[in-house]
Chains A and B, each alone.
Chain A
Amino acid sequence: MTSTDPRMSTPEPGLWARVQARSIEQLHIRLESLVVLIGLAALMAVLSPFFLSVSNFLNILLATSTIGVLAIAATFVLSSGGLDLSLGSVLGLSGVVGAAVAVKLGAPMPIAVLATVGAGALAGLVNGLIITRAYVPAFIVTLGMLGIARGLALVISDGRVIYGLPNAMVYLGQGRPFGIPMPVIIFVVTAIIMHIVLAYTRYGRHTLAIGDNENAARTAGINVDFHRLTLYTLSGGLAGLAGLLFATRINSGDPTAGITYELTAITAAIIGGTNLFGGRGSILGTMIGALIMGVLQNGLNLLAVQSYYQQMAIGAVLILAVFIDQFQVRKESRV
Chain B
Amino acid sequence: MTLLNVTGIDKSFGPVHVLHGVGFTVDPGEVVGLVGDNGAGKSTLMKIVTGMYSADAGDVALEGNSILGLTPGDRRALGIEMIYQDLALARQQDVAANIFLGREPVRSVFGMKFVDRKAMKREAQSMIDRLGAKLPAINRPVGSFSGGQQQSVAIARALTFNPKVVIMDEPTAALAVREVQGVLDLIRQLRDEGIGVILISHRLNDVLSVTDRIVVLHHGRAAANLTTAQTNMAEVVAAIVGGSDMADAAAHEARG
11 residue pairs from A and B, CB less than 8 Å apart? A1-B131, A3-B176, A5-B146, A5-B148, A206-B102, A208-B90, A209-B90, A212-B93, A213-B90, A221-B75, A222-B101
Pick the 6 closest A-B CB pairs, nearest first.
Answer: A221-B73, A220-B102, A212-B90, A1-B182, A216-B88, A279-B92
The reply on A333 being an interface residue by CB < 8 A is yes
State which of A183-191, A197-205, A248-256 sits at the interface with chain B.
Answer: A197-205
Beta-carbon nearest neighbor of A204 in chain B: B115
CB of A219 within 8 A of CB of B84, answer yes
Q: Given A1-B183, A202-B115: A218 and B72 within 8 A (CB)?
A: yes
Which parts of A98-139 form the interface with B (CB within 8 Å)?
none
Contacts of A5 in B (CB 8 A): 146, 148, 176
Beta-carbon nearest neighbor of A278 in chain B: B92
B interface residues, Cβ below 8 angstroms from A: 50, 52, 71-77, 82, 84, 86, 88-93, 97-98, 101-104, 106, 112-115, 117, 131-134, 136-137, 139-141, 143-146, 148-149, 151-152, 155, 176, 178-179, 182-183, 186
Contacts of A209 in B (CB 8 A): 90, 93, 97, 101-102
Contacts of A275 in B (CB 8 A): 92
Contacts of A196 in B (CB 8 A): 114
Per a CB cutoff under 8 Å, which of B86, B114, B134 touches A201? B114
- A222 and B88 alpha carbons, distance in the complex (Å): 13
The reply on A10 being an interface residue by CB < 8 A is yes
Contacts of B97 in A (CB 8 A): 205, 209
Interface majority SS (helix, strand, loop, mixed), chain B: mixed
Contacts of B91 in A (CB 8 A): 212-213, 279, 333, 335
Q: Measured between C-beta atoms, what is the minimum distance from B23 to chain A in Å?
A: 24
- A212 and B92 alpha carbons, distance in the complex (Å): 6
CB of B113 within 8 A of CB of A1, answer no
Q: Measured between C-beta atoms, what is the minimum distance from B17 to chain A in Å?
A: 24
- A333 and B179 alpha carbons, distance in the complex (Å): 22
Beta-carbon nearest neighbor of A2 in chain B: B132
CB of B149 within 8 A of CB of A205, answer no
Per a CB cutoff under 8 Å, which of B52, B72, B102, B178 touches A3? B178
Contacts of A1 in B (CB 8 A): 131-133, 148, 151-152, 155, 179, 182-183, 186
Contacts of B106 in A (CB 8 A): 202
Q: Given A201-B115, A209-B90, A220-B76: A10 and B133 within 8 A (CB)?
A: no
Contacts of B141 in A (CB 8 A): 332-333
- A200 and B110 alpha carbons, distance in the complex (Å): 14
CB of A335 within 8 A of CB of B102, answer no
Beta-carbon nearest neighbor of A215 in chain B: B88
Q: Measured between C-beta atoms, what is the minimum distance from B78 to chain A in Å?
A: 11
Q: Measured between C-beta atoms, what is the minimum distance from B182 to chain A in Å?
A: 4
